[in-house]
Structure formats: C-alpha cells, structure tokens
Amino acid sequence: MGVLLVGTEMSEAYASAMVTVIPVILLVAAIETSRFSSVIDEVRLQRANKVLEEAREGRVLSPDLPKAVVRWHLASYCIFGLLWISHLWAEMNLIFWLSYTEKDPDPALAVYVKWTAITGFWLVMFGAAAQRQVAAWSQREEREALLDEAQALMRRKRSRLR
C-alpha cells in the first residue's frame, strides 16, 4: 500500500510519459461517455415506442424511464465530469512542471498524477460496465412486459374456456 501513496518522484521521463497517457485516458473516457449516452438514448427511444404502442391499444404506460437507469445516467455524468477535471488539472501541472528549467522531484504531484491515471482507468472500465447494466435493465423491462402480456393472454383464454 505504501508504494501507491509514496515512493514516486517526479522525473522528466515519468512526466513525459504521463503527459501523453492522460490525454489518451481522456479520449477513451469521451468515447465511453458518448457510447453510454447512446445506450441511454436507445433506451429512451425504446421506452417512447412502447408508450406509443400501449396508447394505441388504449392502455396507459408511464413514459418515465426506470429510476435505476436515470440514476446511472446522472451518476455517470458526474463521475466522468470529475474525471475530466482531475485529468485536466494533472495535465496542466505536468506541462508546467516540464516547462521549468529547475525541476524539483515533487513527490506530491507524482502521487497525484499516478492516482489520477489509475482512477481514470478504473472509471473507463466502470463506464463500460454501466453500459451493459443499463442495457440489461432495459431488456429486463421488455421481458417483464412481454411476460405480463403473455399472462394476460393466458387468463383471457382460460376465462373463455370456462
């Protein structure tokens, strides 16, 4: 655990490497955020189509998305916003540090940059998992609606047979 908090000193090689890694993490995070938004948009479109189908058949269905989907969406934007801020802050500090003629080892900056990069990688993985979770919730809701429809059909057929 101590290696994660201390033992890192800023060097020109480390700063140069991290000044290129951080924009890559930001790029991947931007792609994941865009993909996640696309998944949410698809879920909303499916929900709107389902509401229209139900309205045509005379049934009323709430147009709202499941609360879990909305929470994941809001949480993802907050988390990725923090990711952007922390990575931009680290990137600016690295650029400033590299521009100095006299470079101090600055272990605090080195640890901050290390944790920012580690957190960025984890959050990008979180984004991919969140996309799968939202898609699963959407499919589950569809399956439950089809099951309800099938059960209602079976009840009607049974009542006709009696």
pLDDT in tens, the chain (162 residues): 455 555 578 888 889 999 999 999 888 888 887 887 777 777 778 777 777 777 777 776 666 666 766 777 777 778 888 888 999 999 999 999 999 888 888 888 999 999 999 988 888 887 777 777 776 766 676 677 777 777 777 888 788 777
- Angle, helix 67-99 to helix 12-56, in steps of 10 degrees: 160
Q: Scan for tokens 């033992």, then name that residue.
A: 7
**Angle at 135 (CA atoms; ends 124, 77), nearest 5 degrees:** 40
Q: Which of 21, 22, 14, 20 is nearest to 89 (CA)?
A: 22
The C-alpha atoms of residue 30 and residue 1 are separated, in whole angstroms, by: 30
CB 138 within 8 A of CB 69: yes
Residue with tokens 């009607």: 156
**Cα distances (Å, whole numbers) of residue 148 to 64, 84, 153:** 19, 43, 9
